[in-house]
Amino acid sequence: MARSSYVYVCYIRTTPDKLWTALTDAEFMQQYWFGCHCESEWTAGSSWKNISPDGDVMDSGEIVEADPPRRLVISWKHQHRPELAAEGASLCTMEIEAAGSAVKLSITHTSEEAPSKLIEAVGSGWPKVISNLKSLLETGSVAVEEAYPARR
């Protein structure tokens, strides 16, 4: 049983197939994920990496489950910040469900750590990434230009 979790739910005016493609296409992903992209075959058992614009591996893991265009489960281990990497693997589950003229995207990110610094970090990251994804799919442009804007 997960000891720490973060849940983000968003409704996007698109189709399940288009949302699946947006979540798994590296070139499209760079537009909404601040230049980052993920590399994977997107099949159960395949490796997965989240790559920064500079080419650094930010996160890595394995695809635990892939059921296009409904469900994607990723074993997720942070690689960049030592205090987050020390927590080990977490689990990110993305569920896609048709909801009238929109699609419901539910992301549940869990860790066995309690409290989890990784879950705290994804709690500030997922809203920006998914807001950009929603805006890009619905309007053609992102909502947030910088992941971490300079403080005034």
Check residue 145 and give its pLDDT: 84
Checking if the pLDDT of 151 tops 70, the result is: no
Q: Are 12 and 103 in contact (CB under 8 A)?
A: yes
Instruction: Extract the tokens encoding 113.
Output: 């750590």
pLDDT of residue 2: 47
Taking Cα atoms as reference points, which of 17, 16, 21 lies closest to residue 100?
16
* Per-residue pLDDT reduced to its tens digit, 60-96: 999 999 999 999 999 999 999 999 999 999 999 999 9
pLDDT > 70 fraction of the chain, expressed in percent and rounded: 95
Mean confidence (pLDDT) of the chain: 94
* For residues 36-45, average pLDDT: 98
d(CA 7, CA 95): 11
Say which CATH architecture domain 4-139 belongs to.
2-Layer Sandwich (3.30)
**What are the domain boundaries of the chain?**
4-139
pTM listed for this prediction: 0.92
Could you identify the residue written with the tokens 């049983």? 1
